[in-house]
Amino acid sequence: MRKNIPHRKHFSSYPAIKIGRLAISKKHQRKGLGTTLLSAIKQMSINSTSPLSASRFLTVDAYVAAVPFYEENGFVKLVNIAEGETVPMYYDLKQLK
pLDDT at 76 over 90: yes
> Would you state the pLDDT for residue 49?
62
Return the H-helix or E-strand segment holding 43: helix 33-46
pLDDT at 6 over 60: no
At the fourth CATH level, the homologous superfamily of domain 2-96 is: Gcn5-related N-acetyltransferase (GNAT) (3.40.630.30)
pLDDT at 94 over 70: yes
Enumerate the domain spans of the chain: 2-96
The mean pLDDT of the chain is 85
Q: What pLDDT, in 10s, does the model give residues 41-53?
A: 999 888 866 555 6
Q: State if pTM tops 0.95.
A: no
Cα 88 off chain centre by: 9
57, 95 contact by CB (below 8 A):
no
Q: What are the distances in angstroms from CA 61 to CA 6, 29, 66, 76, 93?
A: 25, 19, 10, 11, 17
